[in-house]
Structure 1
Amino acid sequence: MQWENFLERVQERGEYDTRHEAERAARVVLALLGAHVVGEERVALAASLPETFALILLNPLPAAEPLDPERFVRAAAAWIEGATEATAKWDVGAVLSVVAEAAGEELTRLLLLQLPVGYDLLFGRPQPA
């Protein structure tokens, strides 16, 4: 997916007024995600993203422990200026739903297998119980 297309979709899904807001959310969410997915799946995901975002995904600070979805959202809120947990959940959902679209169904499924239960909702891909 190309840079402009990716940001346009994030901006639309997040209902952001500017591309800058969409880019800020995407950078934070992808940095956090990159710390939680590994191996071939992370490399394949990076290949489906615009280069700048791929580099953010591939070069995260390592996570000390896996974050459940609620803590992932809280972490995003801490890094997005002016965000609350509610707005950060919106930001995370906007970015990860576009990531899932760029990745495709099979890669998204493989990524979700690496993450704690509940991330399917953040990716906009609820799984049957």
Structure 2
Amino acid sequence: MVMKWDDFLAAAQERGEYASRDEAERAARVVLALLGAHLVGSERAELAARLPDTLSPVLLNPLQAPEPLSPDRFVRATAAWIEGATEQTARWDASAVLSVVADAAGDDLMRGILLQLPPGYDLLFGRPQPL
């Protein structure tokens, strides 16, 4: 099922405690562009199909990352792309957006996504995995 744009932004705004929908949208676009650079194949396409149409191109059309970023480097990259962000606020931004992405993806797709990413992303998605 495709998540609606308003539902996605409302959830991201609530989880990120953003003052405006514009802040939630900016965080969503940055985080999804970075995530899209790390995903390939059917998982990326299936995730894009479950996200609002407005966000699908952001996920599908990034430059591919030369190497997967660790969760900490992903957070630092997020901070670099959000004006005024610190690593602490960028971790909050990434988790707010990625937890909504995880809800849209569902458990089966999330397992495939997490297999493509370095260890530790499960926490950013709000889906801690057993060791």
Deviation of the 1:62 alpha carbon? 1.5
Secondary structure at the counterpart of residue 55 of structure 2: helix
Which residue matches 1:26?
Answer: 28
Which residue matches 1:112?
Answer: 114
- The 2-side partners of 1:58 and 1:28 are apart by 13
Deviation of the 1:115 alpha carbon? 0.2
Which residue matches 2:43?
Answer: 41
Question: Could you give the per-residue CA deviations for residues 72-118 of structure 1, whole angstroms, max 9, x where no partner exists?
Answer: 00000000011000000000000000000000011011100000000
* Unaligned ranges ≥5, structure 1: none
- The 2-side partners of 1:57 and 1:74 are apart by 19
Provide TM-score, normalisation by structure 2: 0.97
Which residue matches 1:9?
Answer: 11
- The 1-side partners of 2:130 and 2:65 are apart by 28
Provide TM-score, normalisation by structure 1: 0.99
Deviation of the 1:61 alpha carbon? 1.4
Percent identity between matched residues is: 72
**Superposition pairs of residues 87-98 of structure 1, within 5 angstroms:** 87-98=89-100
- The 2-side partners of 1:36 and 1:6 are apart by 21
* Correspondence for 2:59 among 29, 47, 57: 57
Secondary structure at the counterpart of residue 52 of structure 1: coil
Secondary structure at the counterpart of residue 54 of structure 2: helix
Runs of 4+ in 1 over 2 A off after TM superposition: none
Question: Could you give the per-residue CA deviations for residues 37-90 of structure 1, whole angstroms, max 9, x where no partner exists?
Answer: 100000000000001111100000111211000000000000001100000000
Secondary structure at the counterpart of residue 64 of structure 2: coil
RMSD between aligned residues: 0.4
* Unaligned ranges ≥5, structure 2: none
Number of aligned pairs?
129
